[in-house]
């Protein structure tokens, strides 16, 4: 599955550019089904998950081509409404194809999704929202079959501001007759980026970024060209990399507003952060201070996708930090691997108590999920001796483009082996 071998202790210095957002580009790629025409998408990160999704698009009848970090998707003609089972079971975000296919073809058959083992993550909010638009849904033998004669706009109130449910409803509702209103919608920047992409192809959506999204259904769409927003989680990960190594790094081509909760906690830990129009500079010349409480929340709160990386940093801090994970019930698998490196962590339900230690020690650790794997890499950068992070192909490379190369360019001693 591939491994990173890291000799810790090097201070990171330099600058890097942040790639396009994984969590934005995947629903945008799914949305390219809707127009039945050409979609030109720029700033696409080179990731395992992106390759998986474009291969799925190809398997149902789309054509695609890559030119550097631009992908062109041609979704003309009839597509197969049967979504391949294997990639759906491997990558949870592929469930986003359901809303797009239902919106265009009024029928789709897809298996229940899999992905990182960080919690149950049920899709009942997706299904109840699509039912309110008029879809008839049958769940049988591990498959979901959605179909309708026509979709109709409706008022949908989400019990929880689920990103995936918000996106699936948006993708179906753009083709529905009448107006759809999503109340308690997810507010993440990736939702805004999806709205912008859909509107460029002819949809009529307003309100993304707020808790109420309004969608006026339309009957036709056209070609579209769009540039994906930068990845706020990748930016946050490199910011923590600078902090945990006592380094100084300039992170370019980002939207600083999107990482305010991360910047805030890093500031509390003693980092010096300078914010510019599309860049930030972060430096940490001494051992970080503990942050009293880090509680994950839906945007604009502290992102669950940064919990593991911040935990790695707090393992080296002065004092005790408490983490409260409110999004996923099983997102502390990285903790037992950090403990192998000398961290002092106690898990109590959804809370983790982290007492900082003077130094971490290199060890052979295993990535259990995408962000937890990134946290182990960060810990390895700061640890004394050699750290081996296993399973990088399976998890880490799903969400980070050339992580080892970019860290090496900043001064890290890191190599990848098969």
Write out the catalytic residue numbers.
116
What is the length of the chain?
418
Q: Are 72 and 49 in contact (CB under 8 A)?
A: no
CA nearest 59: which of 94, 107, 103, 102? 94
Per DSSP, what are the bridge partners of residue 364?
388
Q: Are 374 and 396 in contact (CB under 8 A)?
A: yes
Q: How many CB atoms neighbour CB 389 within 10 A?
A: 29
Q: Is the alpha carbon torsion for 292, 297, 300, 306 positive or negative?
A: positive
Dist CA 123 CA 125 (whole Å): 5
Tokens of 286: 């001494």
Q: Collapse the DSSP code of 72 into the 3-class scheme (helix H, G, I; strand E, B; otherwise coil) and give the result.
A: strand
Dist CA 171 CA 217 (whole Å): 10
Dist CA 194 CA 203 (whole Å): 11
> Residues 97-108, buried b or exposed e (16+ Cβ, 10 A)?
bbbbbbbbbbbb
Q: Are 209 and 189 in contact (CB under 8 A)?
A: yes
Tokens of 225: 């060209």
Dist CA 299 CA 340 (whole Å): 32
Q: How many CB atoms neighbour CB 274 within 10 A?
A: 10
Dist CA 104 CA 63 (whole Å): 17
Dist CA 144 CA 345 (whole Å): 40
- Angle in degrees, CA 62, 66, 68, rounded to 5: 160
Q: Is the alpha carbon torsion for 241, 244, 250, 256 positive or negative?
A: positive
What lies within 8 Å, CB to CB, of 154 at 6+ separation is 132, 133, 134, 178, 180, 181
Q: How many CB atoms neighbour CB 220 within 10 A?
A: 10
């Amino acid at each position: 599955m591939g491994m990173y071998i890291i000799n810790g202790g090097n201070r990171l210095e330099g600058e890097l550019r942040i790639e396009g957002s994984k969590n934005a580009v995947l629903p945008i790629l799914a949305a390219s089904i809707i127009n039945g025409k050409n979609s030109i998408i720029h700033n696409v990160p080179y990731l395992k998950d992106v390759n998986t999704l474009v291969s799925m698009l190809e398997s149902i009848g789309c054509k695609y081509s890559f030119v550097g970090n631009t992908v062109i998707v041609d979704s003309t003609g009839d597509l197969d409404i049967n979504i391949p089972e294997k990639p759906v079971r491997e990558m949870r975000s592929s469930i986003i194809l359901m809303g797009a296919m239902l919106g265009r073809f009024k029928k789709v058959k897809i298996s229940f999704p899999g992905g990182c083992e960080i919690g149950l993550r049920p899709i009942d909010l997706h299904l109840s929202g699509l039912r309110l638009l008029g879809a008839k849904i049958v769940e049988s033998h591990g498959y979901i079959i959605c179909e309708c004669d026509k979709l109709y706009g409706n008022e949908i109130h989400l019990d929880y501001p689920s990103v995936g449910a918000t996106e699936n409803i948006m993708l179906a509702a753009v083709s529905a007759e009448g107006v759809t209103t999503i109340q308690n919608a997810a507010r993440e920047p990736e939702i805004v980026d999806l709205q912008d992409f859909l509107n460029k192809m002819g949809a009529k959506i307003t309100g993304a970024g707020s808790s109420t999204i309004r969608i006026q259904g339309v009957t036709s769409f056209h070609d579209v060209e769009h540039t994906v927003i930068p990845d706020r989680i990748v930016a946050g990960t490199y910011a923590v990399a600078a902090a945990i190594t006592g380094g100084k790094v300039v992170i370019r081509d980002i939207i600083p507003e999107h990482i305010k909760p991360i910047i805030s906690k890093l500031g509390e830990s003693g980092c010096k952060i300078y914010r510019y129009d599309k860049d930030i500079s972060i430096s940490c010349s001494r051992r970080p201070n503990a942050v009293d409480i880090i509680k994950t929340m839906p945007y604009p709160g502290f992102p669950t996708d940064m919990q593991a990386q911040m935990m790695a940093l707090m393992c080296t801090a002065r004092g005790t930090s408490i983490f409260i994970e409110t999004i996923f019930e099983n997102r502390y698998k990285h903790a037992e691997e950090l403990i192998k490196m000398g961290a002092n962590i106690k898990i109590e339900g959804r809370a983790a108590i982290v007492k900082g230690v003077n130094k971490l020690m290199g060890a052979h650790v295993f990535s259990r999920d995408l962000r937890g794997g990134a946290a182990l890499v960060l810990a390895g950068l700061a640890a004394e001796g050699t750290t081996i992070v296993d399973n990088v192909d399976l998890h880490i490379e799903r969400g980070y483009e050339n992580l080892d190369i970019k860290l090496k360019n900043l001064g890290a001693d890191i190599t990848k082996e098969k």
